[in-house]
Amino acid sequence: MIKNKTIALIAHDARKSDMIEWVIFNAKTLLNNHLICTGTTGGLIEKALEDYVRDGYESNVTKMLSGPMGGDAQIAAMVVEGKIDLCVFLIDDLTANPHEADIQMLLRQCRLHNIPVACNRHSADLMLTSSLWGTKYEPSEPTYHKFKR
């Protein structure tokens, strides 16, 4: 089981209910980790986990600013600093976002710094349950040089 990791959880408005369902489904695993969330999503996640906290689980949710106010950028900075282990970002691909540049910056930083990023529940479930968590697995560093044939 994944433990002691820092997991970023972000969901656009049209995907927040999907995120909450996913969080409840994976609550016992997620509560073994530190959750970093954008503001509104973080508040909803805290509320969704209240029953588990009453049952003795410890909630470890840190809320950043909301996405449009810079929360995506704050989480991107944490990625660059090596403080995020996994990012689950449920994006609303059907609605234009005024902070699209921040969204793309966060996704780019995850790719550059080799941070697993899931943009749907299926990939998030696969990443969260990977047998590689908790092992000595060390991902190779990405290389950025021109490919020579």
Closest among 103, 108, 73, 69 to 89, alpha carbons compared = 103
How far apart, in whole angstroms, are the C-alpha atoms of residue 110 and residue 117? 7
Residue-level pLDDT at 29: 94
Residue-level pLDDT at 134: 87
Query: Two tokens at 33?
Result: 């980790």
Residue-level pLDDT at 45: 98
Residue-level pLDDT at 145: 86
Active-site position among 13, 51, 55, 72: 72
Closest among 118, 130, 133 to 23, alpha carbons compared = 118
How far apart, in whole angstroms, are the C-alpha atoms of residue 36 and residue 123? 19
Assess whether 72 carries a catalytic annotation: yes
pLDDT in tens, the chain (149 residues): 789 999 999 999 999 999 999 999 999 999 999 999 999 999 999 999 999 999 998 889 999 999 999 999 999 999 999 999 999 999 999 999 888 999 999 999 999 999 999 999 999 999 999 999 989 988 888 888 888 88
> CATH assignment of 6-128?
3.40.50.1380
